[in-house]
C-alpha cells in the first residue's frame, strides 16, 4: 500500500477543521457573528467581526501553520523528534530585539502605553523579526555554515542561551521593559491585522513551496547522511534552503504572535501518530495541524475565563506539554509490553 494513501483525506479533514475553528473564532465574544450577518447589524458589530475577530482568527491559523511547518522541517533536517522551530536561536533573538527596542524607545509613558496596547505594530514586529534573523545568522556563523548538522544544532542552543541571558540582563537593568514584553513572551494574537495576515500568508506560501521542493531530501536524510550522499541528493543546497525555511517561518510567526510554545513541536508528532506518509505530505499536514492547534488554543483563551482573556502561549504550553507527556508515557508502556 502506498504510504501516502490516507494523507489527502487527513489534509482535507484538517483543512475543514481549520475553517470550522475560524468560524468559532469569529463568533467568540460578547456579540456573535450573527450580529454582523443580519441586516440590522450596526457599524460597530461589523467592525468587531471584520476588523478584529476575523483577522485575528486567520492570523492565529496561519501563524500556527508556520510553526507546524518549521517544526516538521527541523525534525526532518536534524533527524531529532525533539527539534522545534526555536532550535536555531530565533526565539531568543526575537526576544532580544523586542527588549532592545523597548529599552531604547519605550521608556516614556506615551510610548510604553502604545507598546502595551499595540506591540504588534510595525516597530516591535520589525524588531522581533530582525532579532530572529540576527540570531540565526549568528548560529550559522558559529557553526561555520550548514555542512555539519550536529554543529549547527549545538550552535543554535548556545546562541539561544547567550541571547536569552542578554535579554534577562536588559530586563534586570530596566524592569519596565519586562512588563511591556509580557504580551510578547506569553504569546498573543489580539493585535493581528489584515496586513499581518497577508504578510504571514505570503511567507507561508513561500516556505511551504520551498520545503515541498526539498521534501525528497528529507526522505533521504531519514535513512542517514551517508545513505543520502550515496543517493546523490544535494545535501548542502538542501540544508541552506531548509534552514532558510525554518528561520523565515519562525521569524515571521514570532514577530506577529509572540513566543507560542509547543505548537511546532507537537504538530509533527500528532501527524506521525495519525498517518504514515512521506515528508512531502508530512510537511503539509504538520502546517495544517499547527494552524488548527493554535487557533483552538486562541479560541479557548478567549472563552475559558470570559470576559477575561488568557495568554494563548500558556494554553499551548499546557495542552502541548500534556500531550507530549502522555505520548512519552504511552510509548514507554508499549516498549515495556514489547
Please report the pLDDT score of residue 336 as a whole number: 61
For 51, the enclosing helix (H) or strand (E) is: none
Please tell me the total number of residues recorded for the chain in this structure: 338
CA distance 246 to 230: 26
Longest dimension (CA), the chain: 68
**Residue 260: CB partners within 8 Å, gap ≥ 6?**
63, 64, 67, 187, 253, 254, 294, 312, 313, 316
pLDDT of residue 116: 42
pLDDT of residue 109: 43
Number of other residues whose CB lies within 10 A of the CB of residue 264? 34
- Please answer whether residues 316 and 42 qualify as being in contact, where contact means their C-beta atoms are separated by less than 8 angstroms: no
Q: Which cell numbers in the block locate residue 110? A: 506615551
pLDDT of residue 315: 87
Instruction: Report residue 326 as a C-alpha cell.
Output: 502522555
Question: What's the confidence (pLDDT) of residue 208?
Answer: 95
Asked whether the beta carbons of 60 and 192 are under 8 A apart, the reply is yes
Q: Is 218 exposed, middle or buried (0-12, 13-18, 19+ CB in 10 A)?
A: buried
Task: Give the pLDDT of residue 210.
Answer: 94
Give pLDDT < 70 ranges for the chain.
Answer: 1-3, 29-42, 106-122, 332-338
Q: What is the pLDDT of residues 193-249, one digit of tens each?
A: 899 999 999 999 999 999 999 999 998 888 887 787 777 788 888 888 999 999 999
On average, the pLDDT of the chain sits at 83
Alpha carbon distances (Å) from 290 to 14, 20, 61, 285 = 10, 15, 8, 8
**Domain coordinates in residue numbering, the chain:** 7-337
CATH second-level architecture of 7-337? Orthogonal Bundle (1.10)
Whether 139 and 221 have beta carbons less than 8 Å apart is answered as: no
Whole-model pTM: value is: 0.87
User: CA 1 → CA 34, 258, 277, 296, distances in Å?
Assistant: 46, 42, 11, 33
Amino acid at each position: 500500500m502506498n504510504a501516502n494513501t490516507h494523507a489527502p483525506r487527513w489534509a482535507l479533514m484538517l483543512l475543514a477543521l481549520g475553517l470550522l475553528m475560524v468560524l468559532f473564532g469569529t463568533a467568540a465574544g460578547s456579540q456573535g457573528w450573527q450580529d454582523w450577518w443580519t441586516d440590522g447589524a450596526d457599524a460597530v458589530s461589523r467592525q468587531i467581526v471584520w476588523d478584529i475577530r476575523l483577522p485575528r482568527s486567520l492570523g492565529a491559523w496561519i501563524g500556527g501553520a508556520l510553526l507546524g511547518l518549521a517544526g516538521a522541517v527541523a525534525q526532518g533536517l536534524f533527524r531529532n523528534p525533539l527539534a522545534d522551530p526555536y532550535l536555531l536561536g530565533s526565539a531568543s533573538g526575537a526576544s532580544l530585539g523586542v527588549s532592545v527596542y523597548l529599552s531604547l524607545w519605550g521608556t516614556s509613558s506615551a510610548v510604553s502605553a502604545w507598546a502595551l496596547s499595540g506591540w504588534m505594530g510595525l516597530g516591535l514586529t520589525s524588531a522581533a523579526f530582525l532579532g530572529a534573523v540576527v540570531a540565526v545568522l549568528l548560529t550559522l556563523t558559529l557553526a561555520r555554515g550548514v555542512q555539519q548538522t550536529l554543529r549547527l544544532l549545538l550552535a543554535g542552543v548556545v546562541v539561544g542561551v547567550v541571547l536569552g541571558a542578554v535579554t534577562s540582563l536588559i530586563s534586570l537593568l530596566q524592569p519596565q521593559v519586562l512588563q511591556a514584553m509580557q504580551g510578547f513572551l506569553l504569546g498573543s494574537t489580539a493585535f493581528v491585522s489584515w496586513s499581518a495576515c497577508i504578510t504571514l500568508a505570503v511567507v507561508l506560501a513561500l516556505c511551504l513551496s520551498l520545503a515541498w521542493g526539498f521534501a525528497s531530501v528529507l526522505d533521504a536524510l531519514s535513512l542517514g547522511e551517508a545513505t543520502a550522499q550515496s543517493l546523490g541528493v544535494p545535501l548542502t543546497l538542501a540544508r541552506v534552503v531548509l534552514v532558510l525555511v525554518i528561520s523565515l517561518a519562525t521569524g515571521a510567526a514570532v514577530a506577529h504572535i509572540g513566543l507560542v510554545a509547543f505548537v511546532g513541536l507537537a504538530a509533527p508528532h500528532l501527524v506521525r501518530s495519525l498517518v504514515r506518509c512521506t515528508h512531502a505530505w508530512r510537511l503539509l499536514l504538520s502546517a495544517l495541524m499547527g494552524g488548527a492547534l493554535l487557533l483552538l488554543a486562541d479560541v479557548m483563551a478567549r472563552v475559558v475565563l470570559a470576559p477575561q482573556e488568557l495568554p494563548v502561549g500558556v494554553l499551548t504550553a499546557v495542552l502541548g506539554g500534556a500531550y507530549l507527556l502522555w505520548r512519552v508515557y504511552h510509548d514507554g508502556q508499549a516498549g515495556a509490553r514489547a
